[in-house]
Amino acid sequence: MPKRFIRKPKPKKKKPTPKGVGGFFLRGLITVLPVILTFVVFGLLFQMVDRYVTGPINSTIYWSIEGNGLGWKLLDRFGIDPLQAEYLDPELLPLELQTLARRPEGFAGPEFLDRLSVYRNRNLGFFRNLDDLAIRRERLRQDVTAHIHPLIGVFLSLLLVLWLGWLVGGFVGRRIVGKLDDAMQLIPVVKSVYPYSKQLVEFFFAEKQIEFDTVVAIPYPSPGIWSIAFVTSSSLKTLREETGKELVSAFVPSSPMPMTGYTVFIEPDRVIPLPISIDEALRVTMTGGVLIPPNEKVDDLFDELTQAKVEKVADKPIPKEESSKEGSG
């Protein structure tokens, strides 16, 4: 083979290892960033649950106590009287009562107290608007939360989730969930997000998960192209009888959603077992091959690819025209 057809691989330039203060800073950053990102993810998850689940539940609980007569009876047991002077908000009073409050007697004046009592009695129905009663919401809420802790929202959220799980386990609940899924997939913008969100949640939390046996590599979708797959079971009886071969069933997950993929039946001798766990294989699939297990990572990937290219060129036959020119030379 003429030398001009062989390209020598260029030596791979290794990045210099940072030294000194910069090296210490970089190594420290690599060490601390995963911890920070983990806490950030859980913090965002907590904020989301507090804002959209426990927050609305707590607001409903406090409103049901502060906004009606039955709730006020419960507050009375806690020693809280919303009509006391400490909860009065002068800015919410009618102009007439505000004028009386500016007198030397102030809020303790007999005439002011009588007029205030008459005004509030007109608004003391079963449902009670705190603004109409000139009650300072923030001050009242502060005392209410001191007796009814906001963690009650977390407790009721857990009960709500358990109740929904029980409901969905029945026939009626499954029908309701099915109708809800159909409705969500008909909404123009929501239908492009909801199915994938549901697949992602089911992948991590579903009770009935696909039980995989072994991680393998199979020639799929064509010979020479290898895909990660999971051996799930033996082949179908009809396939074994028609082909006369013992086949195995393999599931080929797709990226980045490994819950979707293809089921193929393949001969065992065409399967290459991989020494990686199920979780490692799923990480490879979900990241598109970015997260490779350490024991399977190719360190000198550039050199491997260059050497393979050189070998391919070396094995390529020389065209007749070029070989005749070299012979004449």
Q: What angle do CA 73, 142, 47 make, to 5 degrees?
A: 115
- The phi and psi torsions of 237 (rounded to 5 degrees) equal -60, -40
Rounded CA-CA distance 284/292 in Å is: 6
Both structure tokens of 55: 């927050």
- The phi and psi torsions of 167 (rounded to 5 degrees) equal -65, -45
The answer on pLDDT for 255 being more than 50 is yes
Q: What is the pLDDT of residues 184-232, one digit of tens each?
A: 888 888 888 887 777 767 666 655 555 566 889 999 888 889 999 998 8
CATH topology of domain 214-298: SH3 type barrels. (2.30.30)
* Domain(s) of CATH 2.30.30: residues in the chain: 214-298
Q: What is the pLDDT of residues 275-308, one digit of tens each?
A: 888 888 888 888 888 788 888 877 666 666 666 6
Per the CB < 8 A criterion, the answer to whether 215 and 273 are in contact is yes
Q: How confident is the model at residue 2 (pLDDT cuts 50, 70, 90)?
A: very low
Amino acid identity at 33: L
Please classify residue 82 by burial: count the beta carbons closer than 10 Å to its beta carbon, then call 0-12 exposed, 13-18 middle and 19+ buried: buried
Per the CB < 8 A criterion, the answer to whether 142 and 148 are in contact is no
As a whole-number percent, the residues of the chain with pLDDT over 70 amount to: 80
The answer on pLDDT for 156 being more than 90 is no
Sheet with 226-234, strands from edge to edge, namely 261-266, 248-253, 226-234, 214-219, 272-273
Q: What is the pLDDT of residues 53-94, one digit of tens each?
A: 888 888 888 998 999 999 999 999 999 999 998 999 999 999
Q: What is the pLDDT of residues 98-142, one digit of tens each?
A: 988 888 888 888 899 999 999 999 988 899 999 999 999 999 999
Q: What is the 3-state secondary structure (H, E, C) of the chain?
A: CCHHHCCCCCCCCCCCCCCHHHHHHHHHHHHHHHHHHHHHHHHHHHHHHHHHHHHHHHHHHHHHHHCEHHHHHHHHHCCCCCCCHHHECHHHCCHHHHHHHCCCCHHHCHHHHHHHHHHHHHCCCCECCCCCCCECHHHHHHHHHHHCCCHHHHHHHHHHHHHHHHHHCCHHHHHHHHHHHHHHCCCCCHHHCHHHHHHHHHHHHCCCCCCCCEEEEEECCCCCCEEEEEEEEECCHHHHHHHCCCCEEEEEECCCCCCCEEEEEECHHHCEECCCCHHHHHHHHHCCCCCCCHHHCCCCHHHHHHHHHHHHHHHCCCCHHHHHHHHHC
Q: Say whether the peptide bond before residue 11 is cis (omega within 30 degrees of 0).
A: no
